[in-house]
Structure 1
Amino acid sequence: MLDLCYAEDSRAEVDMNFVMTDTGRFVEVKGTAEGSPFDRATLDQLADLAWAGIQELLQAQRRALP
């Protein structure tokens, strides 16, 4: 699980959750604007960040498992 620390989370303009498979397919996408609406470009940017973070987690898991 990836999550912002409290200081970052409390200042975020969007609260977004992504659950993805190891092949990049979406299992769950949930998001809320924390003040004003956000645009499609922001959603795409957040999805890209989520995928990058998930790939890092998957690599760490693969290294840890025999």
Structure 2
Amino acid sequence: MRVDGRRKDQLRPVKVTRNFIKHAEGSVLIEMGDTKVICTASIEEKVPPFLKGKGQGWVTAEYSMLPRSTHERSPREAVKGKQGGRTLEI
């Protein structure tokens, strides 16, 4: 049994809030205990120059954690000029 009363194999309740960011074409806030994740989707009607005229699309992804998302404050990766292992993994 866990401190909060859950069994060892029991997940925390999950809450999903759609359209969380009003200016994004799509967005969601996912909450599970103290963990909160915001996902957004944006659409641009363009592709990189090397794909122009080829009838193909382009998908990119970005990932970031707030500096105080863990017990010990860690600086933003953009400030350090390099990505950490967790970012590269994702």
Give the structure-2-normalised TM-score.
Answer: 0.21
Between Structure 1 and Structure 2, whose CA radius of gyration is higher?
2
Whose relative contact order is higher, 1 or 2, with alpha carbons under 8 Å and at least 6 apart? 1
Give the structure-1-normalised TM-score.
Answer: 0.25
